[in-house]
Structure 1
Amino acid sequence: MSWQSALACWVLRRWTRPETAKPRIDVARARAMASERVWSPKVPAGWHLVQRYGPHDAPLCGEWLTPEQPSGITILYLHGGGYYFCSPATHRGIVFPLARRSGARTFSLDYRLAPEHPFPAALYDALAAYRTLLADGVLPERLVIAGDSAGGGLALATLLALRDAGDPLPAGAVAFSPWTDLAATGASITTNEGRDPMFHGSAFAPAGKLYAGETDIRHPYVSPLYGRFEGLPPLLIQIGDTEVLLDDSTRVAEKARVAGVRVELNILPKMPHVFQMFAPFVPEANRALEQAARFVRRVTALQAAETS
């Protein structure tokens, strides 16, 4: 564990974790804190950032990060934030380095948030964005869906929905600390209580209900852990071993492997939730993002070769 990671965990334990101990979710406070603390990296040299937040930009409402020398690879990125806060702007710290390392033009989706827009709004927005990308000429074998936390769960739910609808599937998916069981039944919710520097385990069940609304919390498109994984493309999952959401990753990986899906599960010691967000400060984040970028390049190259 690097000193940079230790410092990040100390800050999270001091400033972020106490917020998750409160008995009620304060949506407005969470959104205000996310917007106030957002650190926005510079657009990488040789890349262009285009923001599309107008009323007529849907279903591709969000941000494009595009290289001057295109690689032919596209990433559809779904940000985290419990489905009720954060945005493409708050997640540039993870999107920019992932795009730069992979060489992929990346679209970060500004999907609708709960509680104003509970399930299935976020899923419908992700599906619409994916289908629009394909309609605009993006080849599915050159496309990867990625996301963190709630966005990682949304990425997996999007795969399930696409498969069930008979849509062409992307080359693969990347999930950073994905939230896959909104019913909060994983043992790590309890066993990692106190070890997780960012969250109390008790915070997740109320947040899950906020997003699910009237829908069964175990619906596979809400909690992809409860879905069938047959026929899905390769998955890369990264998670810290002290996270209360550890079992959200390990159980999905196990089910997917049993279903015949190629899964790379990387459990990193003493890393906080979505530690990739701390690049370039934390060396473990840099290494994890480089691994994710290699995965993106590899699966798109393999799928393109198989298709041709």
Structure 2
Amino acid sequence: MKNFQIIRALSSGSAVTNISKEKEAMFIAGGTNLVDLMKKNVVAPDKLVDINGLDLKKIEFLKGKVSIGALAKNSQVAEDASIKEKYPLLSLALAAGASQQIRHMATVGGNMLQKTRCSYYYNTDMPCNKRTPKSGCGAIGGSNRMSAVFGASDSCIAVHPSDMCVALAALDAQVLVEGPKGKRQIKFTDFHRLPGNTPEKDNTLDNKELITSVEIPDNNFTKNVHYLKVRDRTSYAFALVSVAVALDIKNNTINDVRLAMGGVAHKPWRLTEAEEFLKGKTISEEIFRQAANLSMKGARGYGDNDFKITLGANAITEALTIAASK
């Protein structure tokens, strides 16, 4: 691991100022992803700005929304009684992520910024356009069982690994950030990027901007929700495919719906076309199957991950069925 300097920021403003002074500087909070990357020499910052002392850990229930500080721990949010009551989909998704030990260290902001878990990205002896632009994508034509079936490009077929982010995309969250140019707000579905020709750019943040909080608007999705995570082992494994479902059901009819997938794209994959299809429909297995098939329209496998297309449709059908039965 390369030698680096570490400083502790006492305010959001000082954190942004300190990171703006050097090109090779990064924020660090829980460090559950960043430290791994530094150990493997995938990233090698000259300076780390420790933001753990900032007042960004609160969960505040405000008029019409909840505000979750970027430094709130994943376990803190998942176990919060009011989150479980008002935003149960988020709690379920967080509880499905990583291990209990990691959830006690990982932060909301860090979860959003975690890097892909593609084996080619982590192996510095292999080509990876995300790690080293224009070096090639080893997963294309290589081992790609975990790779994307939506939104990929000739430059990258990696997937975003977060469970929490799938729920936040489904719940129309907003990301609040602060940087040298001031504060701004980003729709969660616009926060992460598809790879295109620049897969090294994971999101729409300026590299000197700091996530300060995430806001979720109030909704009626408090009962018929489910987060389904299909993985190789139940304990501490990333999703092959995951599905976040939130239904607002009245008299056996779907009044409103939110639907998103994980493990299938470079960003959480919101299924807006299927949502529109389901609105106003009477609950039935056939309707759910039709929505699932519609959701997987345009999916493309790369060999080892071809099974994700069938798995994705089955997972959506199952997740909708479970959510509707609650």
User: Fold conserved (TM > 0.5)?
Assistant: no
TM-score, normalised relative to structure 1: 0.28
Higher RCO (C-alpha 8 Å, min separation 6): 1
Q: Which has the higher helix share?
A: 1
